[in-house]
Amino acid sequence: MGESCNVIDEHLDVYAELELLYHVYEKTLGNAFTGVQGDEVRSCAVADDPRPLADYDEDHPYIIAMYDKTESG
């Protein structure tokens, strides 16, 4: 946006490489601006079967303060 000199004609190889990468990533991730749906897009923070990954045992001492320890050393 802030460039005032177009150098595409001098660097067509770089332009071609960037254009190829653009299309690869657009196909993979999609593009909301052009309406392209990406092949590898999935919904955010949604699990088909949400459940805890670990069990919580309230009798287990997960955090023990130093002053609660009975042994010394």
Phi, psi of 9, rounded to the nearest 5 degrees: -60, -25
Domain boundaries, the chain: 1-44
What is d(CA 55, CA 5) in angstroms, rounded to the nearest whole number? Answer: 61
The predicted pLDDT at position 16 comes to 96
The predicted pLDDT at position 72 comes to 65
The predicted pLDDT at position 9 comes to 92
What letter represents residue 17's amino acid?
A: E
- Per-residue pLDDT 10s for the chain (73 aa) are 677 888 899 999 999 999 999 999 999 999 999 999 999 988 787 777 888 888 888 888 777 777 777 776 5
